[in-house]
Amino acid sequence: MTRMVRIDDFPHGDLALFNSGHMMDYQERVEMGLRVFEEYKVHYILGVSPGLLQIGDLDFLEKLVRHGKVVLHGYDHGWSRDWSRITESWAGGGEFEGQTIEAIRTRYNAAHGILRNLSCYDPTHYIPPFNAYNQNFLDVMQHTEVKYIHGCDKERYSYNLDILDHHGRIPLTSQYHKTYDFASEVIHNLDNLSQITLHWIYDSQRPSYEEDYRALAKALTE
């Protein structure tokens, strides 16, 4: 099995970018990158925000994802908040800022219920949107199947996430601008063994998107 790659944001993760250019072709864009990883049998997880799924998205994932796994990436990626001020929520938990334990549990159960019938769904991994979470989120996760919480060292240290009680959940952390970057940059840092994280929504903005994913897939499977 190849090294696992984390890919965020299905159907999308940036409300402004979605509205300005990706609304009509997000499936085609994500498929372009994932088809390459499927071809090379790269082990990957795709973070999905179930509250944002459109008609046909579940069937799309069922048909596409074979060598990867679909995992939870929040409920709506914070899109129900004021997006123009979304960064202000990150220190307090991002999507989970200001939510009660019961509210987080309700949204988790709804999200889990939407994905549970996918054959490619893995409930043991959770990717908090923006790599941000709080104690209420972790208190809910301790009563779920989640074992791994994915994040980035930038938020982990900026928001002192290590002082939270993870209740035995294991943080898997990427290194900002090393293994957490564009695919064209990550490929130069494969000696860094931290979690690789990609964002197809930004990689797909580059003309070399498919080539970059192919080069990375080859490097990971050599």
Average of per-residue pLDDT across 208-212: 98
Question: Residues 131-164: pLDDT tens digits?
Answer: 999 999 999 999 999 999 999 999 999 999 999 9
- Retrieve residue 215's tokens: 């080069």
- Which domain range does residue 214 map to? 5-221
- The residue behind tokens 């090393």 is 178
Q: How much is the pLDDT for 1? A: 54
Q: How much is the pLDDT for 21? A: 86
Total count of domains within the chain: 1
pTM of the model: 0.97
Is residue 162 classed exposed, middle or buried when 0-12, 13-18 and 19+ CB atoms within 10 A define those classes? exposed
Cα dist. 141→23, 69, 109, 135, 155 in Å? Answer: 31, 19, 11, 10, 19
Question: Residues 71-103: pLDDT tens digits?
Answer: 999 999 999 999 999 999 999 999 999 999 999
Domain of residue 60, CATH code: 3.20.20.370
Q: How much is the pLDDT for 141? A: 98
Q: How much is the pLDDT for 91? A: 98
